[in-house]
Amino acid sequence: MMEKNKNDDGSSSTASIKLTPHQERVRDALIDRRLNVFNVVEIIANEKVADMMDRMEMCTCSKCTCDVLAIALNALPTKYVTSHAGKQYFQLNSYKKQFETDVEIALMRACLTVKEAPNHEGDEGK
């Protein structure tokens, strides 16, 4: 439903869309979710990518690092946790042990792919 807003001087401003109470709750939940949901696999990959790239003796520029992360994360399942007090720490530690090896293998494969055909200009990052 469209509604007109009245300014303090009595004139009308541009029309806006009025949300139903349900739509407002959904909008608010989506805003909250953005701040409170984390992919544990991505956290682990971010922690390990620099070390893996060093071990693979490859370029560590930002483009190569992002390419390695993107390739590895696309090959891995996602595992989301919430950030409620204490819960995230517990979930992160239990999932970290479970997924560490899978993340390392995916990162190693991604490093080989990027090392074979790097996506950067010149010799930056070497």
Burial letters 28-65, b for 16+ CB under 10 A, else e: eeeeeeeeeebbbbbbbbeebbeebbeebebbbbeebb
> Given a cut of 50, is residue 125 above it in pLDDT?
no
| pTM, entire model | 0.65
Q: What is the mean pLDDT of residues 89-108?
A: 82
Mean confidence (pLDDT) of the chain = 79
Q: CA nearest 75: which of 102, 52, 48, 56?
A: 102
Q: CA nearest 107: which of 10, 32, 42, 62?
A: 42
- In one-letter notation, the amino acid at residue 102 is D
